[in-house]
Amino acid sequence: MLNRVIQRFKLNVLSINEVEDSHSSTVYNCKLLNGETIFLKIPYTKLKCQRELEAYEILKDRVSIPEILDYWSGDEECPGAFLLSELKGQPLTNKALPTVAFQVGVLHASMHQIQPPPSIQLISIQDEFSVWSNIVERQFYSFAEDVKEVLDESLYRQAIENFESMKRQLPPADGPSFIHMDFRPANIIIDENKVSGVIDFESVRFGSTEIDFTKLYRDFLSFDVKLYQSYQEGYNTVRPLIELEVVLPFYQFTDAFNSIGWCKRRGSEKNASFLEKNLSILKKILL
């Protein structure tokens, strides 16, 4: 499939390397003969491909993102492909300065400030805010079918009871907002202590912001209180930040639970490391 996509875009490739930290779609870093670096992305499904395409239209000139250099809608064998410009820099790490965390807060809030656009007819990005509680519940119980095959019966039953109990304590949803759904360090690009932008929009939707902080907190903000404080300060310059301490426990739990189901669905052996990480998180919460 890769060779077909390269031929489709008529690329003169010097070298090509798969980007490792891409959990769903397949992404390649390509060095061209003319010295240019571009990224080739093949989404996992046609739905994710269409969702990403619409996201670029929504975010253009509002949030720093790569430029779509070319696009192929795909065929029966390939769901589609994007040729994307390079955002200069490297993925965010927890070694970043608080000033970077401030910029990440501004970036995140800038996305959350975007509401469903009345001028754009969306096909794949849904406005789910009015039924947000139902969406969260439906997603959880969908993955529960897979999780049931991984956890022992006692732990699985405890997880279900925990979900129902915590869900009843959630505050009113915050939105409708454009939410990334995979806002984590690997998708935030930093260049010399400045945020270059954000990537990967195949899971985006309009909904409640409360779900969108979990992965960033897990992989970045939780490592240093100064990062957490600076992020909050940056976010609040654009829009008021919800009380994260109230919603994070619920979404940390559901993220770990759903991720276990995702690993089972996509292949437990292939995703063994990610599976073990989330099993550990879930057990710490429940045991």
Question: Which residues are bridge partners to 32 per DSSP?
Answer: 13
* Backbone φ and ψ of 284, nearest 5°: -65, -35
On the question of pLDDT at 23 being above 80, the answer is no
pTM of the model: 0.90
CA–CA distance from 225 to each of 20, 97, 170, 194 (Å)?
A: 29, 12, 24, 20
Express each pLDDT in 44-94 by its tens digit. 899 999 999 999 999 999 999 999 999 998 888 889 999 999 999 999 999
The per-residue pLDDT for 42 is 92
pLDDT tens, 240-267? 999 999 999 999 999 999 999 999 998 9
| Whole-number pLDDT of residue 220 | 95
